[in-house]
Structure 1
Amino acid sequence: MAQIVDQWTKRVPDGNKTKKVRTARWGKGKRWLARWDENGRRVSRAFENRDAAEAFLSRTVTEQVDGTYVAKAKKEITVGRVWPIWWATKAGKSKSTREGYLAAWQHIKPKWSEVPCQEISRAAVAAWYPTLTGRYLDEDERPLSLGESSLQKVGIVLNGIMATAVEERIILSSPLRMKDVPKQRPTQRRYLTVAELDRLREAMPNAATQLVVDVLSCTAVRPGEAFGFQVGDLDPMRGRLRVARDVDARGGADDTKTRRHRDVPAGGDLLHDLETAAEGREREDWLLLMPDGRPWTRNRWRPIWTKAVEEAGLGDLDTYELRHTAASHAIHSGANVKTVQRMLGHASAAMTLDIYGHLWDDELDLLPAQMDAHKKAERARFTERRQRAARQLGGSRVG
């Protein structure tokens, strides 16, 4: 039963009547106490004035009836207590993805970990995003603003935590919106020409490093995926490489970024070089090795790449640009969007078009001439067919 209690006074017998007297709490703390039943136990909340207590109690009773009530105990649950629940749902993600989420939590934790989910507001979070800083300092010893990609990841994680709070009935609805998460502006992708790619290969110090460049620029795999190839992933008969794992910066092997495996094409000189590299070795051996026989990691690759890029005169170039280059060369070679999607391991053709659609737009320049050539060929074929029919008809009349 719901009721309002005055904590400053109480009624005591006075002959045949009762009278109101002050309690030991007179003038101390909040006077009015709202009491109600919650999951079989008695709970309460104090208020300064009776009107506020009655309004709260009326709202509570209504919420219990229509099913929108959130238990008092849950109203005190903080963001930090929900984080492990949300984090547990990401156990199936790749190691690199989980590391990104952990890094984002380190930014969220100092500000919001001890704050009850009930007290999180959209305006407060929006005002907080611009204050986040990275680890590095500029020349003036000022902290740099957090990068767009990292800032977006922070927003995704915080939104995910609040969505989990809704699922756990800690809050009725999340005040946050995904549209408020800072957006990452599209990056300028660089596509190497064949001449630039040749310069890069020539700048590599040996055949082992050239093979890495060839694999990346021909198959469009990610660097970690390339370093994760094992001898058994090469299928010379089909001309395929199986992308089944990823190697992180320290050499640890994990599943691919998308948790899906795929086949990428390997033919021509690349297939010949890969067969040579795999010859006489066990299926579980790493396919791409450093000249000294150690497996590649991104940390071991980085200084070699930096030096070669400088010698080739290619400016500030990231290894990942070879993935974009491979996609560009495939598209300009006539590959359709589904083929490129499969090669890149994208979840959908729409994702591939979002990233590389403009490269297919370049092919529109060739379309008028190709259509003209097609129509001329069809007209010529039609004319030839009519002439052949006429000759056959003339021959039959003579006979």
Structure 2
Amino acid sequence: MATISAYETANGRRYRVRYRKPDRTQTDKRGFKTKREAELFASSVEVAKARGEFIDATAARATIGVLGAEWLATQTHLKPSTARSIESAWRVHVEPVWGGRAVADVRHSEVQTWVTRLARTKSATTAKRAHGILSSILQRAEKDRRVATNAARGVNLPRKKARKHIYLSHNQVDALASNAGEQATLVRFLAYTGLRWGEATALRVRDLDLLRLRASVVENAVRVGGRIVVGTPKSHRSRSVPIPQFLAESVSRLCEGKSRDALLFGDGGYYVRPPSSQSGWFERAVRATMAADVSFERVTPHDLRHTTASLAISAGANVKAVQRMLGHASAAMTLDIYADLFDDDLDAVGAALNHAAGAATVGRMWANGRESTAVS
């Protein structure tokens, strides 16, 4: 139990509360002007310990800078590209503002003001990433009982504007591939298998089974800080992707003269570098295609992945098959991303309901002994 003792100061009598923390170490708090205030504090400490809500004042003085560095060191599960973006956001946007602040001194209103200001000059993605880092640090502090609540929880975040999906037709894919020259097979491969850029450029000859028309996606190559890092696919899961028959011959030619460990796309041991948005072979192919077809919109390599989904669904593939091909975590995720591709299904639902309602109405009319000229 806590003990209360009085002591004299230049400003009069004050009271000190001595108590034990949950770890059984002893500490005290002084400066109470009345014994009643000291008693109330002592009671609150005992209640907080009993409820598991005790906050150690010493632990609460830890700074965001110190706890943030500790939190970053635990993010070893992140993909290299994600880890780099997190580290950059911490260094540029979070640490300069919050690094010197004690976790107990962070206020919800301050976090809201910071996020709002950040969103005015930076993208919604940047603002949300920075907030996510601060919130994760404070959440860790809450679980460690450094603070009672996470001050970053419940902050209003900017909405991220979804980029419009661009879907190419079979003819447009063919035109783009023709303008890509030596990379024509890569363009068609991306548009008809749905692989991400890093997954396609990490493919090795051994990953192909042209008899079964399958490609095994087991690695992903991404550029991180000027170098290419090879790891697992985005979902951390390998998958088997179908290769259309018409692509088999051109893919087979790429395998000729290569060992099983050689890369399918690219020269020797080097990965094909992601094409620049301003220059490079992909941009030249896009410009040439746009010049010949006014309906052709500017596309990125990732739009070819969207094109795969569109062409597969148009060909009658079910959403579960598309999910497996694209490597999404669930069919629900595929439906959320490509909901616009299922508008025709909604029309079919409406037509089916209209037919069913009409048939039911006619049935009731005949059951009542009345003729009907209604057309179902």
* TM-score (norm: length of structure 2): 0.81
Identify which of 181, 186, 199 aligns with 1:212: 186
Separation in 1, partners of 2:230, 2:75:
18
1:116-161 CA distance string (max 9 Å, x none): 222222221111012227xxxxxxxxxx721122222223222222
Partner of 1:382: none
Correspondence 1:255 to 2:238? no
Q: State the partner residue of 2:263.
A: 286
Equivalent in the alignment of 2:102: 116
Letter matched to residue 238 of structure 1: R
Distance 1:294 1:335, change over 3 A: same
Corresponding residue for residue 58 of structure 1? 43
In the alignment, the residues of structure 2 paired with residue 104 and residue 181 of structure 1 have an alpha-carbon distance, to the nearest angstrom, of 16
> What is the alpha-carbon distance in structure 2 between the residues aligned to residue 370 and residue 54 of structure 1?
74
- For residues 293-325 of structure 1, give each alpha carbon's deviation from its aligned partner in whole angstroms, at most 9, with x where no partner exists: 843021579622122212211454222111111
Aligned counterparts of 1:149 and 1:185: Cα–Cα separation in 2: 9
2:197 to 223, 226, 229: 223
Deviation, 1:42, is 2.8
Q: Kindly report the root-mean-square deviation, in angstroms, between the aligned alpha carbons of the 2 structures.
A: 3.0
Q: Is the 8 A contact 1:31 1:47 kept in 2?
A: yes
Equivalent of 1:325, from 285, 307, 314?
307
3-state SS of 1:44 partner: strand
Displacement of 1:177: 2.7
Cα distance change, pair 231–210 in 1 and its aligned pair in 2 (3 A): same
**Residue of structure 2 equivalent to 1:183:** 159
Q: Which residue of structure 1 aligns with residue 289 of structure 2?
A: 312
| CA contact 1:3–1:34 (8 Å) conserved in 2 | yes
Distance 2:339 2:190 in 1: 21
Native 8 Å contact 1:247 1:297 kept in 2: no
Partner of 1:67: 52
2:111–2:155 CA contact under 8 A, matched in 1: no
Q: 2:18 aligns with which of 35, 51, 54?
A: 35
- Out of 205, 211, 215, which is 1:241 matched to? 215
1:360 alignment counterpart: 342
Aligned to 1:96: 81
> Displacement, 1:232?
1.0
Partners in 1 of 2:38 and 2:300 — Cα distance?
63
Q: Equivalents in 2 of 1:365, 1:169: separation in Å?
A: 55
Matched residue type, 1:284: D
Q: Is the 8 A contact 1:341 1:348 kept in 2?
A: yes
- Secondary structure, in 3 states, of the residue corresponding to 2:215? strand
1:297 aligns with 2:281: no
After superposition, the C-alpha distances for 1:59-92 in whole angstroms (9 at most, x for unaligned) are 2222123321122221112223333443344322
Is 1:200–1:308's contact at 8 Å kept on the other side of the alignment? yes
Q: Aligned with 1:306: secondary structure? A: helix
Q: Which amino acid aligns with 1:191?
A: Y
Q: Are 1:159 and 2:142 matched, yes or no?
A: no
1:199 paired residue number: 175
**Which letter maps to 2:2?**
A
Instruction: Measure, in 2, the Cα distance between the counterparts of 1:76 and 1:179.
Output: 23
1:345 to partner: Cα distance: 0.7
1:54 Cα offset (Å): 4.3
Structure 2 residue corresponding to 1:45, chosen from 5, 26, 29: 29
Residues 178, 225 of structure 1: alpha-carbon distance in 2 compared, 3 angstrom cutoff: farther
What secondary structure sits across from 1:149 in the alignment? helix
Are residues 149 and 43 of structure 1, via their aligned partners in 2, closer, same or farther at CA, if it must alter by over 3 Å?
Answer: same
| Secondary structure, aligned partner of 1:43 | strand
Identity of aligned residues (%): 29
Structure 1 distance, partners of 2:212, 2:74, is 38
Give yes or no for contact 2:275–2:281 (8 Å, CA) kept in 1.
no
Partner letter of residue 8 of structure 1? Answer: E
* Structure 2 gap segments, 5+ residues each: 291-295, 355-376
TM-score with structure 1 length normalisation?
0.77
Give the aligned length. 343
Unaligned runs of 5+ in 1: 10-25, 134-143, 373-399
Match of 1:127 in 2: 113
